[in-house]
Structure 1
Amino acid sequence: MTQPAPDERRPAWRRHLPLAVIVVVAIVGAFTPSDWLSFETLRENRQALLDFRDAHYLWMAVIFVAIYIAIVAFSLPGASVTSVTGGFLFGLVTGSVLNVASATVGATAIFLAARAGLGETLAARIDASEGRMRQIKQRLNENEVSVLFLIRLVPVVPFFVANLLPALVGVKFRNFVLTTALGIIPGTVVYTWIGVGVGEVFDRGGTPDLSLLWEPQVIGPVLGLAALAALPILVRAVRGRKEI
């Protein structure tokens, strides 16, 4: 007699609990004032943060990464401010590495939570069906890397959506992690770069301008990368071998 898989033996509530916790915390966070994580807070506490960083660099890095992971994992507001803070505290190179690593780990947490609960059930039902949804899922799975890169590179796709949807259609874990880590690099570097000069902005009495991401010299290369990511899909479609 075939034994059920470990995931099938677990009670349903245990499989859905991680995603349920994330959703509840995200909802609470969305309706909770987030003044503690803003540019104004950074302005008021920048010297204290710099002093702590200089005295306890490793601890500052650990605390920063933990906060960033929690913000992304629970889809809390403030990810952009946190990315800028990473550049402010650690510089362009180290700040970018910490920002990318933290965002990737947080995104992976959402992905795993969704896949353990709704994702596995939904993907199995789609595979067992005979409708259009099954065909779409099959085409998506055949072009996973290209599609996931597109989702990450095109700024109009909300980060939470880009973390959740792949889990619900059963994409491979390694493809999700790889495309997340690489796909968020361009935008993350821009935000980190803003953070490097945020001290001078504060000295002038200004506020960091996050609209820089939409400047032609920035968004142009990003869209170019998105076009390259879409190229394999287009080639397959033209050849008539694949259909999205």
Structure 2
Amino acid sequence: MNEASRGISSQLIVKVVVAIAVVCFIVFLSVQFGQYLSLDELAKQESRLKEFQQQRPLVFVGLAFFAYVVVTGLSLPGAAALTMVYGWYFGLLPGVLLVSFASTTGATLAFTLSRYLFRDSIEQRFGNRLESFRENLDREGAFYLFTLRLIPLVPFFVINVVMGLTQMKVWTFWWVSQIGMLAGTFLYVFAGASVPSLQNLAENGINSVFSSEQLTQIVIAMGLLGLFPFLAKKAISWYRGGEKQPSETTDSR
């Protein structure tokens, strides 16, 4: 067996071991805490959470906002899943409003920390990308950041920290990110909002998820999430092509 085959085999063994460990952990949780993880019990917890929100709405929304800022600002994993959870809990329009401003605030926090506290370590880690970012910024300006936000080809946390080492102003980074991330935020929140509440599931069973209306919403949400990067990329390519055409015509003369 050659070295490449041994490497692949080792990776496969590690993945299998991790998968078995995860399954065992889930089984352990089910055995030990099954009574607390039942649908009825989770629905009760959801109801208590709703009561707290009604009693202290500003505190509740503030905590939700702060939690999202921490996740995005510290580049913790799970922002996409948290976005869908907020959509599921708060609903479409409130969820979009909350996540939109919280995500931009967190991204700006990461941008600022990168610029003033972690510059050296980030330059060492992303030095090659930094030069590419600077060249594209010099050529396209803030529109380059907008395209990165619109087309999620580069991880958001990389955009946040690398942009912090460029000459871009904090205000420019904030408002371009706010607009550029809005479409993606809407789609993720819409996907979460298409899932019924736990109370609905507890009362009507799993059939409430598989109703024709619910299935239609879920299929639309998943389809839009899958198609959006492709459509956004095509739109940006079309815009750039149209933008270059006048100069090309002038040069031909």
What is aligned with 1:73? 73
Cα distance, 1:52 vs structure 2: 2.2
- TM-score, normalisation: structure 1: 0.63
Q: Which moved more, 1:57-66 or 1:167-176?
A: 167-176
Number of aligned positions between the proteins: 192
Cα distance, 1:233 vs structure 2: 6.9
Larger radius of gyration: 2
Amino acid of the structure 2 residue aligned with 1:172: K
Give the SS at the match of 1:64. Answer: helix
- TM-score, normalisation: structure 2: 0.61
The CA distance in 1 between the partners of 2:133 and 2:156, in whole Å, is 22
The verdict on how the C-alpha distance between 1:59 and 1:227 changes in structure 2, with shifts beyond 3 A counting, is: farther
What is aligned with 2:107? 107
Q: Does 1:158 pair with 2:169?
A: no
What is aligned with 2:141? 144
The CA distance in 2 between the partners of 1:228 and 1:57, in whole Å, is 45
8 Å CA contact 2:187–2:225 kept in 1: the answer is no
Deviations 1:33-78 (A, max 9, x none): 9x9xxxxx8x734333323223322221111000000000111122
Give the SS at the match of 1:170. Answer: coil
Higher helix share: 2
Map residues 1-244 of structure 1 onto 2, 5 A cutoff: 44=42, 45-117=45-117, 119=119, 137=134, 140-199=137-196, 203=201, 205=206, 211-216=222-227, 218-219=228-229, 221-223=231-233, 225-227=235-237, 230=240, 234=244, 238=248
The CA distance in 1 between the partners of 2:92 and 2:138, in whole Å, is 35
Cα distance, 1:94 vs structure 2: 1.7
Question: How many percent of aligned residue pairs carry the same amino acid?
Answer: 23
The CA distance in 2 between the partners of 1:119 and 1:231, in whole Å, is 35
The CA distance in 2 between the partners of 1:118 and 1:238, in whole Å, is 42
8 Å CA contact 2:122–2:161 kept in 1: the answer is no
Give the SS at the match of 2:167. Answer: coil
The verdict on how the C-alpha distance between 1:55 and 1:122 changes in structure 2, with shifts beyond 3 A counting, is: closer
